[in-house]
Chain A
Amino acid sequence: MVQINLPKNSKVQKGEYYKDKTGSKNIRKVNIYRWDPSSGKNPRIDTYEVDMDNCPSKVLDLLNKIKNEIDPSIAYRRSCAHGVCGSCAMNMDGKNGLACTKPHSEIKGDINIYPLPHLKVEKDLIGDLSTLYKQYHSVEPWLKNSKKDDGKENLQSIADRAKLDGLYECIMCACCSTSCPSYWWNGDKYLGPAVLLQAYRWIIDSRDEERKERLEKVADELKLYRCHTIMNCTNACPKGLNPAKAIASIKKMLATT
C-alpha cells in the first residue's frame, strides 16, 4: 500500500546542536538522523559542526570523527572502509551509497545523513534488513548441480563465465533495494533489485541445473513484476552494477522461453 507520510512514531523532530569547539574556520554542518530505542521518543536530527581541516575525505571518516571527538553515542555499521563489505550503506545527501566510498566534497551545502530509506530503525543509522535477508534466502543463492564430486573442477566456458560479470560483484549492501519506491510500498512481497539481481546471477550460471525451476519460482506478479523500471536502483548502486538490467533480463527470459 502506498503510504507517503511517515507513521506517527517516525516523524522526525529537531534535535541537539553541537557547536564547534576547535575554533576552526573551515566548518561544515552535518545533520544526522538519531533514534535511541531506550528513550521512547521520536527520531530527531542532530546537527554537528565539524572542523573539516582535520578530516579525511570520505563520509565515513566524517562519521568516525564525530564519534571519536564530538558524540560517542552515535551508532552506525562499518567494517572494511574500502567499499567491499557493504556495511556502511546509508542515505547521504538524498542518495543511497557507501559512506566509505562517498567523498564528502561531492556534497554541496549541509551534509544530511539518514539510515537507508523505509526500514525499521534499530538505532540511529542502523536499519533492520532481516526482510531482505529472508528474501535473499528464498531465491536459494547456491549452486544446484547433480554432478557427483569427482575431484575435478566444474568447468565453464569463457563466454558463460562472462555472463556473471556485473552480477557476482554485488556485495548485498541494500543501497538499491532501499532506493526503490516499489520496494518501499511492497517490500514484504516484491523481492527488490538486490535479491532479483542475485536470483538472476544463479539463473544465468551455466553450471546451475535448475534454471527452469528458478525462473518459475520468481515469475510472480508481486515478486518480479512490481519492477516498473524506475531505475533508482542502478542510479544508487555504489559498485556501478545494473540491477534494472538484470531484472529486465529475467523478464525477457520469461517472455521468450
Chain B
Amino acid sequence: MDNNKPLSPHIQIYSWNISSLISISHRITGVINIVVLTIICFWIASFLFGNSIYVIVQNILNSFFGKFLVIGITWSFSFQILSEIRHLFWDLGYGFELKTSNISGAIVIFGSFIMTVLIYILGRQLI
C-alpha cells in the first residue's frame, strides 16, 4: 500500500530564486573548472613533445569557437571565485538575511560578467 502512494512533484513545480539558481550554477561551474584545469595540465605537459601540439591548440583557440570557449571558461572561473567568496562570508556567519543574500547573489551574477570582460581585456593586453 505504501509503495502505491505517489510522490508529490518537487523540482518540476518549485519556483527558482536567486540563491537556488546560484547554488546549482556553483556546482556546475565547479565541475567544469575541474575538467578544464585537468585539460590545461595535459596541455602544458604536451609542450614536452615539441611545438606540433602547441600549434594545433593555438589554432583552435584562435578560431571563433576557441574564443567562445575561452570566454566561457573565464566566466565559469569568475563565477566560481565570486560565489566562493560569498560562501566564505556565510561560513563566518554573515549575510544570511534574505535581503543581504539576494544582494550578494546579484553581485555574484553581475560581477561574474564584469570580471570576465576585465580578465579578457587584461589578458589581450598581456599577450
Query: B46 an interface residue at 8 Å Cβ cutoff?
Result: no
Contact call A120/B2, Cβ cutoff below 8 A: yes
Question: Which candidate, A74-82, A90-98, A197-205, is the interface stretch facing chain B?
Answer: A90-98
User: Beyond A242-B96, A245-B96, is A91–B5 a contact (Cβ under 8 Å)?
Assistant: no
Given known contacts A229-B87, A235-B19, A249-B93, is B9 in contact with A37 (CB within 8 Å)? no
A164 at the interface (CB under 8 A from B): no
- A-contact bits for B44-59, CB 8 A (1 contact / 0 none): 0000000000000000
A10–B4 Cα distance when bound, in Å, is 9
A91–B13 alpha-carbon span in the complex (Å): 9
For chain B, the bracket of interface size reads 20 to 34
A-B contact count (CB 8 A): 108
Q: How far is the CA of A127 from the CA of B9 in the complex (A)?
A: 11
Chain B residue nearest to A42 (CB atoms) is B6
Between-chain CB contacts (< 8 Å), 27 pairs: A37-B4, A37-B5, A42-B6, A95-B15, A117-B9, A117-B11, A117-B14, A118-B10, A119-B8, A120-B2, A120-B7, A121-B7, A121-B8, A181-B10, A229-B90, A230-B23, A231-B101, A232-B19, A234-B96, A235-B17, A235-B20, A244-B96, A248-B90, A248-B93, A248-B96, A249-B93, A252-B92
